[in-house]
Amino acid sequence: MTKTALITGITGQDGSYLAEFLLEKGYEVHGIKRRASLFNTQRIDHIFEDPHVEHARLKLHYGDLTDSSNLTRILSEVRPDEVYNLAAQSHVAVSFESPEYTADVDAIGTLRLLEAIRFLGMEKTCKFYQASTSELYGLVQETPQTETTPFHPRSPYAVAKLYAYWITVNYREAYGMYACNGILFNHESPRRGETFVTRKITRGMANIAQGLEPCLYMGNIDALRDWGHAKDYVRMQWMMLQQDTPDDFVIATGKQYSVREFITWSAEELGITLKFEGEGIDEVAKVEAVTGNMAPGLKPGDVVMRIDPGYFRPAEVETLLGDPAKAKRDLGWVPEITAREMCSEMVAEDLRAAQRARILMDHGHGAPISREDGNR
């Protein structure tokens, strides 16, 4: 029998990969999208099915995690077998600027969904996945982090996600719901939002190589992260809901790199060798050598990265490293794509976009790259 899934956050990075994955598995997939003044479905346009076509298996509903009546109505119409709660104000730095909204969506939004499932009497038939995060560990208490490492959240985002984590556990314990937390470490892809650090770097370096931007301005490049590929991680989200009993799992690669290393890799992918000079807020990255023809806009000595303290966070998470042993042992999950391979894929996609933008600019078509500075 065809299974039905409801994905909140289907227009985001993970939502788009998960929707693809579930459609391939034969699911009917429903997604909640927000009303926006411009189209916001770019990540799922390739799998969109015209609703006028009979038996379309991808269906979108307008909605918002801040609106209980809307969530209840969608759930009662769709009656899903599985709910994947991926929607969130997901930017840590932005959560310091919009803490109350972040709490409303990320914490209370999760409660609204769980409560709607219960209110509709679906708590025994509908499985629930919560997008929990390594940000819960924040000021880390032990390394590597496992399912039993104590939490110490360091941002309004992480505190909101802490509530969401525990309310998911609570609905499992109180009402016998099949509800799971995936404690996912950072995962990226060419579909990553442009203001998260990896994508900011791959897009920025590709633009600099093509002479579209002069320099990348970064925050704390000493930060250490355990970066995986979103494709590997959505597979695990589904696996978590296919077990006999619900449980919480850390999803990570078990390998850690610095933001500085990710900048170095991205440059290398473009044939650029970098040299980091100076310390603290005076640190810069200069071009040492350029090989190949991917960076015609650059020459040795050019400064391509500077530090802008405006990107420092009021409280930083300096280091994260996950131990995915439980996911491997209980579910047989292992990540297939390394951080370096992912970086290569991201740079290749961003270089293609930059080359297209360069051609348009050379033919007098304005400045086709968007450079907003809201990426705290």
Residues within the interface to ligand GDR (CB under 6 A): 90, 92-93, 133-135, 185-186, 195-197, 200, 218-221, 223, 225, 259, 311, 313, 316-317, 375
- 3-state SS, residue 207: helix
Exactly one of 123, 135, 213, 269 is catalytic; name it. Answer: 135
Question: What whole-number distance in Å separates Cα of residue 292 and Cα of residue 311?
Answer: 32
**Residue 13 binding: pick among ligand GDR, ligand NDP, none (C-beta 5-8 Å cut-off by kind):** ligand NDP
Nearest Cα to Cα of residue 134 among 227, 220, 198, 221: 227
In one-letter notation, the amino acid at residue 266 is S
- 3-state SS, residue 301: coil
Establish if 287 lies at the interface with ligand NDP (CB under 6 A): no
| Contacting residue, 99, 193, 211, 271, with ligand NDP by CB under 6 A | 193
**Long-range contact set of residues 138-143: C-beta below 8 Å, sequence gap at least 24:** 138/315, 138/317, 139/317, 140/317, 140/319, 140/320, 143/319, 143/321
**Residue 253 binding: pick among ligand GDR, ligand NDP, none (C-beta 5-8 Å cut-off by kind):** none
**Residue 14 binding: pick among ligand GDR, ligand NDP, none (C-beta 5-8 Å cut-off by kind):** ligand NDP
- 3-state SS, residue 82: strand
Q: Mark the segment that binds ligand NDP (CB under 6 A) among 186-194, 279-287, 293-301, 312-320.
A: 186-194
Active site residue 135: yes
Strands (E), the chain: 4-8, 28-33, 58-62, 82-85, 127-133, 179-184, 187-188, 216-218, 224-225, 228-229, 249-251, 257-258, 272-277, 284-290, 303-307
**Residue 89 binding: pick among ligand NDP, ligand GDR, none (C-beta 5-8 Å cut-off by kind):** ligand NDP
Angle at 253 between CA 235 and CA 111, to 5 degrees: 55
Establish if 342 lies at the interface with ligand NDP (CB under 6 A): no
Question: What whole-number distance in Å separates Cα of residue 68 and Cα of residue 75?
Answer: 11
**Residue 102 binding: pick among ligand NDP, ligand GDR, none (C-beta 5-8 Å cut-off by kind):** none
Smaller CB distance to ligand NDP: residue 193 or 271? Answer: 193
| Shortest Cβ 264–ligand GDR spacing (Å) | 14
Smaller CB distance to ligand NDP: residue 302 or 345? Answer: 345
Smaller CB distance to ligand GDR: residue 47 or 224? Answer: 224
Exactly one of 157, 165, 233, 257 is catalytic; name it. Answer: 157
- 3-state SS, residue 249: strand
Question: What whole-number distance in Å separates Cα of residue 193 and Cα of residue 197?
Answer: 9
**Residue 40 binding: pick among ligand GDR, ligand NDP, none (C-beta 5-8 Å cut-off by kind):** ligand NDP
Smaller CB distance to ligand GDR: residue 139 or 360? Answer: 139
Q: How far is CA 197 from CA 14, 130, 263, in A?
A: 16, 23, 10
| Shortest Cβ 155–ligand GDR spacing (Å) | 8
Residues 12 to 51: which contact ligand NDP by CB under 6 A? 12-15, 32, 34, 36, 40
Question: What whole-number distance in Å separates Cα of residue 367 and Cα of residue 349?
Answer: 19
Active site residue 133: yes
Q: How far is CA 69 from CA 15, 120, 149, 214, 260, in A?
A: 22, 12, 36, 48, 46
Establish if 186 lies at the interface with ligand NDP (CB under 6 A): yes
Burial 224-237 (b: 16+ CB within 10 A, else e): bbbbbbbbbbbbbb
Residues 115 to 174: which contact ligand NDP by CB under 6 A? 131, 133
Smaller CB distance to ligand GDR: residue 57 or 235? Answer: 235
Residues 96 to 115: which contact ligand NDP by CB under 6 A? 105
By annotation, the residues acting in catalysis are 133, 135, 157
Instruction: Give the footprint of ligand NDP on this chain (CB under 6 A).
Output: 8-9, 11-15, 32, 34, 36, 40, 64-66, 86-90, 105, 131, 133, 184, 186-187, 193
